[in-house]
Structure 1
């Protein structure tokens, strides 16, 4: 069974309906949805009411993407788990492709592709050929919604997100990078499958690299490595994205400052 953990604030009504409809239309129906609402619980309950696929609705009084994912995974019953955004939706044969892949491969993590069908473009640049093992640096280019985790291989207790990172947290990005790095450190192999399974609107690079998002990069690099390596990687990222930053020097200095202020939380 595939478990889909869906954190939501319950404010994106049209997007949630689209997501739930895409789940209802799956060619493989052996899945469950764990919907973790952080607000507007009654609205989320109302939107879920028309659907007959297995649903668990968890209501939280706290906000935070990583927190919601960590809570949601406690309720899953499947042996494969993925973490959905409430504004993405799935190709009708997505779960069939995922299940088929894990039936034939013993990898712990499989990374697929995201596509924007409205703009007719891929969410990011992807390799054309499959990879049995994704390289360490390539892990930094993966998004959480394209990742499926095989809990027959990966210890469920290890599947946890740093709650200091992710939307609604102090640092609003970087949670999937930290997660995949942790999986890498634990010795779990991630493979790459050049198949589209999930749809998501492709944002402009400028919107993805706003001040708050870029400020998260410094603490993220420090969290994964250490301060000297973090400074080097932040500087390289800054030089690479220089032309896409609205205020390059202030953004860089802000991220650098956040790196020095960051201290790893005991609760992860």
Structure 2
């Protein structure tokens, strides 16, 4: 029996509507050298009723809730493809995704890889603003938007792939969440494998969040970055500290308002103008306005998480699971 080239592994938790959009985009691919492994992670709202609607090779599995990383590991044990691909359930693929991926793999010959994410025109204004904050040069250095990496590229599990033999060598995702994807990337790189960014392999990432959820998400990203830097010495970069410096600088400027007559707010005003104009170049005026609070949430939330994690782990010397127990899934 001929095995597929790609095994697409998608963990899903209470998101049947999103899964329908994802499966629609897979059905519309110009080429389909894949099988689909849909891992239902203990959902109350199941997606199994969707399977019969699609003429696609879908393998559906239901398991207890142990988190997305462990669900991807479950999927890899069932996969038969040469490459394992991971997408989040809130992603939609352009029709030529697999055409672009095939060409890039022939040219680059990566052992593991990832691609950038972007906002689809149908996304809400808030989703587009959050996408800007997550991909802009002024907030994240443009890394997640497909620019050059500040260090070795760390694929993210919303759009990530690896060879089957890489998984067999280094294992799967750990029980930390978020952060299970850069953790796996570091282990792959430490094992000597070639990890590449494939800029043409773009996905539309819906980011099913509002501003309240967004600040919780980026706070967690800041916390996890310190944990990963502790686990993998030498991976820390000055750039990871910049949001914390932005947080402290913003607080300092606000405290100086009485003594400066408000002039201390000028740097923040300039930053607001810069973000607004930059976001307006590729979005509507409304999205540009929303991008301003999104950018502040991105920087301040991440900065606070990073600073708190530094204090707990490196200043107070606490263990990761003691300091942040909710960041680790119990697989028992």
Please state which band the TM-score falls in when normalised by the shorter chain: 0.7 to 0.9
* 2:101–2:200 CA contact under 8 A, matched in 1: no
Match in the other structure for 1:161: 173
Aligned partner of 2:244 in structure 1 is 238
Structure with the bigger percentage of strand? 1
Q: CA deviation at 1:104?
A: 3.5
Measure how far apart 1:88 and its partner are.
0.6
Offset at residue 70 of structure 1 (A): 0.9
- Equivalent residue, structure 2, for 1:88: 91
User: How far did 1:108 drift?
Assistant: 0.8
CA distance in 2, matches of 1:247, 1:18: 30
Question: 112-121 vs 249-258, which deviates more?
Answer: 249-258
Matching of residues 138-177 of structure 1 within 5 Å: 138-140=152-154, 142-151=155-164, 154-163=166-175, 165-166=176-177, 173-177=178-182
Match of 1:28 in 2: 31
Q: CA deviation at 1:236?
A: 5.3
Equivalent position of 2:308 in the other structure: 253
Q: Structure 1 unaligned runs (5+)?
A: 167-172
Q: 2:80 matched to which residue of 1?
A: 77
Deviations 1:36-77 (A, max 9, x none): 111237731112221121111121113211111111101111
SS at match of 1:139: coil
The corresponding residue for 2:114 is 111
Q: State the Cα deviation string for residues 103-154 of structure 1 (Å, max 9, x = none).
A: 33322123322111134977622599998xx77x2425x42223222336x3
Q: Assess, with a 3 A threshold, how the Cα gap between structure 1 residues 41 and 95 changes in structure 2: closer, same or farther.
A: farther
Q: Which of the numbers 185, 190, 197 marks the counterpart of 2:190?
A: 185
Partner residue, 1:47? 50
How many Å apart are 1:241 and its aligned residue? 6.2
- TM-score normalised per structure 1: 0.77
The Cα of 1:224 is off from its aligned counterpart by 2.2
- TM-score (normalizing by structure 2): 0.64
Please say if residues 19 and 86 of structure 1, whose CA atoms lie closer than 8 Å, have aligned partners that are also in contact. yes
Greater helix proportion: 2
CA contact (8 A) 1:216 1:258 kept: no
Q: Confirm or deny: 8 A CA contact 2:117 2:144 kept in the other structure.
A: no
Structure-2 separation of matches of 1:245 and 1:55: 41
Which consecutive residues of structure 2, in runs of 5 or more, have no partner in the other structure? 122-127, 136-141, 251-298, 323-327
8 Å contact kept, 1:81–1:150:
yes
Mapped contact 1:108–1:149 kept (Cα < 8 A): yes
Distance 1:218 1:253, change over 3 A: same
Task: Give RMSD over aligned pairs.
Answer: 3.6
